[in-house]
Amino acid sequence: MLSKFSLLVRSKFVDGLPDEHSSALFRQVLDASYDSIIITLADLDRPEIVYVNPAFCRMTGYAPGEVIGKTPKMLQGPETDHHVTGRLKEKLDSGESYEAHAINYRKDGTPFHLQWLTSPVFDENGVATHYMAIQRDITDQVHMIERLRQEARIDGLTGLLNRDAGQAALTGLIDRAGDDDTPLSLVLFDIDHFKAINDTEGHVVGDYVLRHVAKIIDGRTRGDDLVIRWGGEEFVVALWDTAGDGAVTAAEFIRQAVEVAAIENLDSVTLSGGVAEWRPGQSMLELIEEADRCLYEAKSSGRNRIVS
């Protein structure tokens, strides 16, 4: 929460000091603030900037002379949320403060995230004469949160969706297929003899195989399809707008691509796959179980094959 400096703005900043001393002291406080501060006239149609502190200049790249006399709109751009700025005007018009998160733009055109609190400043008669905004650049925090959210969704080794995120995405795809009456099929792949690869070649090679296979699978699917690292050496591919026969063909295409790929230090890596076509009313877990039964049949009947 940003500190409410505007609560300190009164006709006398410090009781007992003459106004000129109070004004000088207040200016020093604003200039020394770690947070960016901008003061405008209380005119919602044209809130002309009358003061910016050094922190504002460091944050935006503008010198005071480049912004004084202009309006904060000069900091806005394509990603600025105009619902937020509209809400700000409503709050200020009713004499209230407003705190929000927004995207503004630096002098060089780069966007940045900021948290700000804007408050009206009243004179001794209770009339708003100025608006003061205390702003803080939170770009690093926003990017860190986005990165953590992304890491929570992505398998760190292969770059594919992890199981938790994949289950949620697959459930959504099934709901969409039901709403649109669109065919949807699922393939559950398993790398054949993967334990033997880990045991004989080591986990470094095993990890390389997982990344290599993931890249082949991902590179042979379409934008509307889902590719998920389901766990261990298993991968799930959800094929949008694809019925059973088409899914078998797509799975076979992937299986062959893996079989003929050159993988360092290994003669060959192969896949087994089980294919299931989604039926209306079937849950995500039921669809996975059906594909898993087909996968088991593929592995028990010799591996390196697709069964539906």
pLDDT digits (tens, 9 = 90+) for 151-164: 788 999 999 999 99
Cβ–Cβ under 8 Å, residues 269 and 261: yes
6-32 pLDDT, tens digit each:
444 443 334 444 565 566 777 787 888
Q: What does CATH list as the number for 154-307?
A: 3.30.70.270
pLDDT at res. 20: 59
* Closest C-alpha among 95, 215, 225, 93 to residue 158: 215
Residue 237 has pLDDT above 60, yes or no: yes
DSSP class per residue in 74-142: GG--TT--HHHHHHHHHHHHTT--EEEEEEEE-TTS-EEEEEEEEEEEE-TTS-EEEEEEEEEE-HHHH
Average pLDDT, the chain: 89
Residue 2 has pLDDT above 70, yes or no: no
pLDDT at res. 21: 54
119-154 pLDDT, tens digit each:
998 888 889 999 999 999 999 999 998 888 877 889
Average pLDDT over residues 214-221: 95
Tell me the domain boundaries of the chain: 5-139, 154-307
Cβ–Cβ under 8 Å, residues 183 and 245: no
* Ramachandran angles phi, psi of 199, nearest 5°: -70, -40
259-307 pLDDT, tens digit each:
998 776 677 899 999 999 999 999 999 999 999 999 999 999 999 999 9
Any catalytic annotation for residue 48?
Answer: no
Cβ–Cβ under 8 Å, residues 41 and 47: yes
Average pLDDT over residues 61-71: 95
20, 66, 99, 233: the catalytic one is 233
Residue 194 has pLDDT above 90, yes or no: yes
Average pLDDT over residues 183-188: 97
pLDDT at res. 18: 54
Cβ–Cβ under 8 Å, residues 100 and 88: yes
* Closest C-alpha among 83, 72, 10 to residue 46: 72
**Could you say which of 3.30.450.20, 3.40.50.140, 3.30.2350.10, 2.40.50.140 is the CATH number of the domain covering 5-139?**
3.30.450.20
CA–CA separation, 47 and 142 (whole Å): 28
Cβ–Cβ under 8 Å, residues 224 and 240: yes
Residue type, 67: V
CA–CA separation, 40 and 143 (whole Å): 30
